[in-house]
Amino acid sequence: MFTRIDHVGIACRDLDAAVAFYRSTYGFEVAHEEVNEEQGVREAMLRVSGTDDGGASYLQLLEPVRDDSPVAKFLDRHGEGVHHVAFGTGDVAGASAAVAGRGVRVLDAEPRPGSMGSRIAFLHPKDCGGVLTELVQAAGSGPDPEGS
Amino acid sequence: MFTRIDHVGIACRDLDAAVAFYRSTYGFEVAHEEVNEEQGVREAMLRVSGTDDGGASYLQLLEPVRDDSPVAKFLDRHGEGVHHVAFGTGDVAGASAAVAGRGVRVLDAEPRPGSMGSRIAFLHPKDCGGVLTELVQAAGSGPDPEGS
């Protein structure tokens, strides 16, 4: 059902500085940047490797663009660091339903837009051993009820 | 230099319960369990996927076996959740030296034993945007100065 660590989401106060750190220290390059207005973040995806399901693993660097965004609140409480872990799946709606059936609260009743055209759902960290967990269906993979 | 997210380390109070959660909720199976006396943890490695460098990505679940272990102190301060992120490399000694040369404090002057016969080094989280970062050379890969 879950085929890869799609990404590790990392909260930072200065996206450009974080990108510069990961590039200069480890050689990771930016595959994509975007602003997600709904989540209130500016983000960069740094590709680490391809995976055996044909997908890839990324670091997702997240800078809040408004003070009331979840990532801004995380930074206020915890400071910079790991914000969430995301698992890749070919069917985020099916995987969300399966996980919900096992007693985990799914925070998104319907999958919503994630990075790079993906569809995502978040799980409640209190049901996941303190780990804010995201399920990701990459763009162009798996079923798409909107037919886009 | 770094070819994969080798693993995400997750601190838990009850390893058996955490393993049961990840198996029943996501279908991840235990590839390996061990006690690392030096680090004061009992741990399970759950394989998530293979990666295009021939390695794999895991979740590493960590339960402290003594109250003064770093993971026990983490649990006291933060509760359960993500403890560290590990990047895979073919040469942990060389990668550590390279990273140190870029101004990041390497906590292990010499690589030390990690999970499944790997050799590892930790980086100072304050030099890594709040992320406790581990470098991992898998067993049997890359240069090994001990010739084992």
CB atoms B131 and A81 under 8 Å = yes
> Which amino acid would we find at residue A58?
Y
Q: What tens digit of pLDDT does each residue of B74-110 get?
A: 999 999 999 999 999 999 999 999 999 999 999 998 9
The catalytic site residues of A sit at: 7, 43, 60, 84, 134
Arithmetic mean of pLDDT over chain A = 95
Contact B143, A26 (CB under 8 A): no
Which positions in chain B touch A2 (Cβ < 8 Å)? 26-28, 48
CB atoms A52 and B53 under 8 Å = no
- What DSSP assignment string belongs to A16-28? HHHHHHHHHHH--
The pLDDT score that the predictor gives to residue B143 is: 76
Name the phi and psi angles at B22, rounded to 5: -70, -30
Percent of chain A whose predicted confidence (pLDDT) is above 70: 97
The pLDDT score that the predictor gives to residue A107 is: 97
Report which secondary-structure segment, H or E, holds B120. strand B119-123
Domains detected in chain A: 4-137 (3.10.180.10)
For A95, counting Cβ atoms within 10 Å of its Cβ (0-12 exposed, 13-18 middle, 19+ buried), the class is buried
Q: What tens digit of pLDDT does each residue of A47-106 get?
A: 999 999 999 999 999 999 999 999 999 999 999 999 999 999 999 999 999 999 999 999
Inform me whether the pLDDT recorded for B144 exceeds 70: no
Name the phi and psi angles at B96, rounded to 5: -60, -45
Q: Give chain B's contact residues with A (Cβ, < 8 Å).
A: 1-5, 8, 10-12, 18, 21, 24-28, 48-53, 57, 78-82, 85, 87, 99, 102, 104, 125, 128-131
For A68, counting Cβ atoms within 10 Å of its Cβ (0-12 exposed, 13-18 middle, 19+ buried), the class is exposed
CB atoms A2 and B130 under 8 Å = no
The nearest CA of chain B is from the CA of A38 a distance in Å of 25
